[in-house]
Amino acid sequence: MRKFEERGFHPRTHLGQNFLIDLNIVEYVVRQAELTQDDVVLEIGAGTGGMTTFMAQEAGHVISVEVDRDMHSLAEEAIAPYDNVTLLLTDALKNKNNFAPAVLKTIAEQLAVSPERRLKLIANLPYSIATPVVSNLVATDLPWIRMIVTIQYELGLRMQARASQSAYGALSVWLQSQCHVNMLKELGPTVFWPRPKVDSAIMSLVPDSKRQAKMKDRAFTHDFVRRLFGFRRKIIRSVLVGMFRKQLTKPDVDEVLEKMDIAHNIRAEQLDVSKLVELSNRFLLKIEATEPAEKE
């Protein structure tokens, strides 16, 4: 806070700037990251560079991204003693579905240093971009092996929610279909400055290749689940008929549901993750089977 006063800087609420000021929590996050010299760390939201310096002492390389020019200047001073930190002044996201090219380029360069290198996302994520950052990293083919992220508590509940719970939705299914998702710690507003009006949580995500292998087409499953939960209160048959009206007939939809022993009058939110992944696979196969063969 003193540095802010000296420079005349003020937190920008529209950027979701709530800085983690409790060093015990910073140390806890870094400890949970289990950093080694083979790790390339992606930190989104460098802030003043406090957590960046902790990670630089243990990781092979830290890529820290900061969109605010004022924060970038403070972080530059903090990381000056370290030659294994790249500090980018840019938005981490190109759009809601893709990381910025500069971020991807820097990650690729650092991973290429050694075949042993792996990626970890360790960050106090700005609330406004937490969902797309986590979701997009899971969607990539980058060799990430762990995420330890501080996010809004309600988002953490959505990430780990189970079928029939109120927080269960497309994000829950997308993440749990490929990762082990756990809430490590709930945080009150007092560990941040300025204090947010909501609680936060530290989340751990670890990829599971066996879960991911059950998906025939990740992009199809991602789109399938998002569209399905767009009408979460409607019965599943009517939603699926509408989703695939150009590709499948009503009897086609009924056949898939009957083969999986799914009642027509249940809702998507009542099906667990594995059931929804299997359902997406079945619809993909059904669509492929009904498409006219290409002319040779």
CA 167 from chain centre, in angstroms, equals: 16
User: May I ask the CATH class of domain 2-212?
Assistant: alpha beta
Q: What is the DSSP string of the chain?
A: -HHHHHHT----GGGT--EE--HHHHHHHHHHHT--TTEEEEEE--TTSHHHHHHHTTSSEEEEEE--HHHHHHHHHHHTT-SSEEEEES-SEEETTEE-HHHHHHHHHHHTT-TT-EEEEEEE--GGGHHHHHHHHHHS-S-EEEEEEEEEHHHHHHHH--TTSTT-SHHHHHHHTTEEEEEEEEE-GGGEESPPSS-EEEEEEEE-HHHHHT-S-HHHHHHHHHHHHTTTTSBHHHHHHHHTTTT--HHHHHHHHHHTT--TT-BGGGS-HHHHHHHHHHHHHHHHHHSPPPP-
Helix pair angle (236-243, 250-259), 10° resolution = 130
CA 258 from chain centre, in angstroms, equals: 34
User: Whole-model pTM?
Assistant: 0.91
**Tokens encoding 114:** 């050694």
Query: What pLDDT score does 2 carry?
Result: 57
155, pLDDT greater than 60: yes
Return d(Cα 42, Cα 23) in angstroms, integer.
20
Query: What pLDDT score does 158 carry?
Result: 98
Query: What pLDDT score does 195 carry?
Result: 80
User: May I ask the CATH class of domain 218-290?
Assistant: mainly alpha
63, pLDDT greater than 60: yes
All CATH 1.10.8.100 domain ranges in the chain, comma separated: 218-290
All CATH 3.40.50.150 domain ranges in the chain, comma separated: 2-212
Report the chain's mean pLDDT, rounded to a whole number: 92
Query: What pLDDT score does 6 carry?
Result: 57
Q: How confident is the model at residue 32 (pLDDT cuts 50, 70, 90)?
A: very high
Instruction: List the one residue out of 248, 242, 293, 249 whose CA is nearest residue 268.
Output: 242
Per-residue pLDDT reduced to its tens digit, 84-110: 999 999 999 999 999 999 999 999 999
Average pLDDT estimate for 266-272? 96
Task: Give first-to-last CA distance, the chain, whole Å.
Answer: 69
Per-residue pLDDT reduced to its tens digit, 221-258: 999 999 999 998 899 999 999 999 999 999 999 999 99
Q: How confident is the model at residue 12 (pLDDT cuts 50, 70, 90)?
A: low
Average pLDDT estimate for 27-49? 96
Are β-strands 179-187 and 200-207 bridged in parallel, bridged antiparallel, or unpaired?
antiparallel
